[in-house]
Structure 1
């Protein structure tokens, strides 16, 4: 199996975040956080042993030279591990799952320079700082106690999962070093700002269940197609730039958008086709669907329903009428200016 082989079969389990949101997204990250606050007991030292490694190894492959073979996949979930120092000697590992343990230190992974896929969910990690791993493509650190995004500089990293942590601000994500990253998962953190996510190659960004009040600093995300902002505290739709020319799906469910005229700030998103605004105050307005389509002519779906031809035709008539009214007002103002001009 080559380092460039497709990793789909080894990707961490995730919710299908592109499907319709009929129910509230799970609150498991909150339960995990509460559990961590309630139980502060010291775990008994439980280092990784050769016996446990032997049980967890699989997937025999050729090594880099092609002259020998080694097991390249390791799964040691739910072993109460506190120390994985033994992994320093398993330099051929490419797929490692160390989830649901009590780990606080990942530094032994610095020796695994052939690593392609890493899952370290549900540990006691406060940081994900590692040396540059040249082949790492998928990394998941969900449901830990991580407080920042420093020390992530893996040139082939495609997908990074940091949901359910304690991150308040995104810092240290260098677009020059993370030029392959297309999916960033930050749901269920404590983010108060979207600043620091300056990653032009990013395609999917998940920021639901944070403490955001507005969108800012995302102007350079020209390849972003999917943006999830569900269950935040967003009141204004300022911050969406015409430079975000690839954005197709925007989920703002469960925010605090009150004024329907805010939707006009989304009309410069040329590819926006699907918008979710359920559970916002503006969604209770009687002309909610019509106003959304009037403001954003190219919108195809609002919440769970596609617009019918009749709705599109009616919205077009309203847009045309408003345009004529604005032109008449402009002509009247121009005439008034001429009348008042000095002879």
Structure 2
């Protein structure tokens, strides 16, 4: 057996050498390379159906005319010039004649079942009509000398076409193959993408190694999932807008293009094509998609958070002072009214009119802007008009509470604008766009937000056009923002305290006036009687439950007061009950989990105010000398725990703790005697011996430290004192727990000094 096998191997080697020598294919070689035994169509005989003869240096394969039952013929890497033998193979399905010397385009009679043909790496120069090849589905004509695409009009089953590395300079002749899913035109001379409009089924497109400068021409190919444009001449990121609507596109390759040199190229492309999963052969991560959106089209929440962080950091870098708009406790934030709505809705005019009519309660907060004044706008009344450089300088000086960009201009509300109103004991009324509202909601201010929105869009647009101040692009953007405001109101329940249609300004103002008077408790007696039944059905039965935002009324010295006979005191339970009912009417129903969360947050605020939780700034600048002060707070802490339901103890305790809204002064300031009065009141019931150690500790806490390291000589500024905000002229000379002979202490523990 071994001798016979060696003999057979020698014979096959001799046959192969013989065929290589003269390039003529013989029957012996054919018989040795046949495979895939199967039946003939009649089912009475068995024959081989596959023939593979790669790299045999064949030039003459005429012997194959006798093999009429072949279904698959592979003849790659030979020297074949003539394929006429294929005409005698009616059952042929797959033909591979790549890497040969064939110059005639399909020089054989068409087998009716021929589906896959590979004629790449040959010498063909012109395509001919292939209408007779109705079953053709895969055609590879790469690495030839073809200059145009033709003859495929009747190939209705063609799905894969490769014409890579030819001399094609223009895409044409692809109007009819509607089922084409894969097209490769790699390595040609294309400068534009054209002629692909009818390929609605195209899924994979390879246009690499060309001279393409634009992606225009791909916008209607909605089934495209992969595009390869490696090593072309694409230089602008904006070209990706042409394929922005191809929602099935997952793989894009732009390697070797000058566009990759653009700053933030990858994030920009990922932002324009959010559905991509692979870019330049690298996987697109979820983090990249989020970063791209936050960079180029951040949500209003992200913009507002950045804006708030910027202003907070710059404010902390400035000398810290006590503001008139800082209220003594978390239960009574400074009252503000914010009117918001799309541009030109009348919010500025309504704000001015409201402040004029209710001048005993409101004053207009003047914002800053970098745009020029419109008609009848006055500097210092409607806006402070400044240039961009001054605006940026004010940001770096920590002047602003919130800023925003709109229409290419900057707008901002300064702390001084609110302070100018707060010094007069009035509530501040301002107007701003939606971006400013999102930013202001990050601050500790809790304004009433009223949305003014046009219902009749055409009337609103006509009003804007009548001004003659806006370009068509600005009008389109303004119109689109109406839906932005409406969506915000629909999707964020309770985001606005009230929504008022503003198609008729007089009617809108009357509605606004009525709503504001309800906030101020200025309703007529008849209206109060009519509301009695509504108040009885209110859900606000819990005396401990507080409204989400405070009423627009203040009491006491330098504060707002109602025209009613008796102003409600914030410590009065009816004060809380009334606004709990109003809040229940204006706000959506909260779930038990939300209510529990609100109560936990309120409890944390109370603990921070009364000293159970140290303030943020005191922790940052904590010194060894201040540790003694913590021991002083312990008796007050226990006392406040035992009397947590007492409004009087909460009010007095709040004045002994630094406000979280204020900063730190750079030097030791005299201690307010009124605070010692509150301390005395809080320590009632203890022995006189207990007073002296506590007072000594307080004196040590505020005295200059011997250690001169930075921050060790800084004392927290106390919050404002409601009773006149008076400050003693000089500190107490001795840390005595008892008041001096010139000091009088009233029943509530407040201290009043003579002179």
Structure 1 residue 145 and structure 2 residue 123: aligned?
yes
Structure 1 residue 193 and structure 2 residue 170: aligned?
yes
Q: Which runs of 5+ in 1 are unaligned?
A: 1-42
TM-score, normalised on structure 1?
A: 0.77
Determine which structure has more spread, i.e. the larger CA radius of gyration: 2
Deviation at residue 62 of structure 1 after TM alignment: 0.7
Deviation at residue 337 of structure 1 after TM alignment: 4.4
Structure 1 residue 306 and structure 2 residue 283: aligned?
yes
Question: 4+ residue runs of structure 1 moved beyond 6 angstroms?
Answer: 333-336
Separation in structure 2 between the aligned mates of residue 209 and residue 162 of structure 1, nearest angstrom: 13
Separation in structure 2 between the aligned mates of residue 249 and residue 307 of structure 1, nearest angstrom: 14
Structure 1 residue 203 and structure 2 residue 331: aligned?
no
Separation in structure 1 between the aligned mates of residue 56 and residue 268 of structure 2, nearest angstrom: 55
Question: Could you give the per-residue CA deviations for residues 280-323 of structure 1, whole angstroms, max 9, x where no partner exists?
Answer: 0001111211221232232232112233333323433434689x
Aligned length: 293
User: Match for 2:25 among 48, 56, 63?
Assistant: 48
Deviation at residue 257 of structure 1 after TM alignment: 0.3
1:279 aligns to what SS in structure 2? coil
1:171 aligns with 150
Question: Could you give the per-residue CA deviations for residues 237-266 of structure 1, whole angstroms, max 9, x where no partner exists?
Answer: 111132x12101111111110111111111
Residues 85-164 of structure 1 mapped to structure 2, 5 A cutoff = 85-129=62-106, 130-152=108-130, 153-164=132-143
Deviation at residue 179 of structure 1 after TM alignment: 2.5
- Equivalent residues of 1:282, 1:288 under 8 A apart: yes
Residues 277-316 of structure 1 mapped to structure 2, 5 A cutoff = 277-316=254-293
Separation in structure 1 between the aligned mates of residue 143 and residue 202 of structure 2, nearest angstrom: 22
2:127 aligns to what SS in structure 1? coil
Higher relative contact order (CA 8 A, sep 6+): 1
CA RMSD of aligned residues (A): 3.0
Q: Which runs of 5+ in 2 are unaligned?
A: 1-19, 301-341, 343-403, 409-460, 470-755
Residues 248-327 of structure 1 mapped to structure 2, 5 A cutoff = 248-317=225-294, 318-319=296-297
- Equivalent residues of 1:248, 1:271 under 8 A apart: yes
Deviation at residue 336 of structure 1 after TM alignment: 6.9
Greater Cα offset, 61-70 or 79-88: 79-88
2:637 aligns with none
Question: Could you give the per-residue CA deviations for residues 175-212 of structure 1, whole angstroms, max 9, x where no partner exists?
Answer: x3x23222112222222122223322111112211111
User: Match for 2:204 among 221, 226, 245?
Assistant: 226
Separation in structure 1 between the aligned mates of residue 52 and residue 102 of structure 2, nearest angstrom: 18
Q: Hey, which of these two has a bigger chunk of helix by percent?
A: 2
2:238 aligns to what SS in structure 1? helix
Greater Cα offset, 308-317 or 89-98: 308-317
2:48 aligns to what SS in structure 1? strand
Deviation at residue 334 of structure 1 after TM alignment: 7.8
- Equivalent residues of 2:38, 2:47 under 8 A apart: yes
Question: Could you give the per-residue CA deviations for residues 150-195 of structure 1, whole angstroms, max 9, x where no partner exists?
Answer: 2434222222222211111111112x3x232221122222221222
TM-score, normalised on structure 2?
A: 0.36
- Equivalent residues of 1:127, 1:149 under 8 A apart: no
Structure 1 residue 237 and structure 2 residue 184: aligned?
no
2:205 aligns to what SS in structure 1? strand
1:338 aligns with 466
Separation in structure 2 between the aligned mates of residue 69 and residue 179 of structure 1, nearest angstrom: 34
Separation in structure 2 between the aligned mates of residue 171 and residue 108 of structure 1, nearest angstrom: 25
- Equivalent residues of 1:106, 1:128 under 8 A apart: no
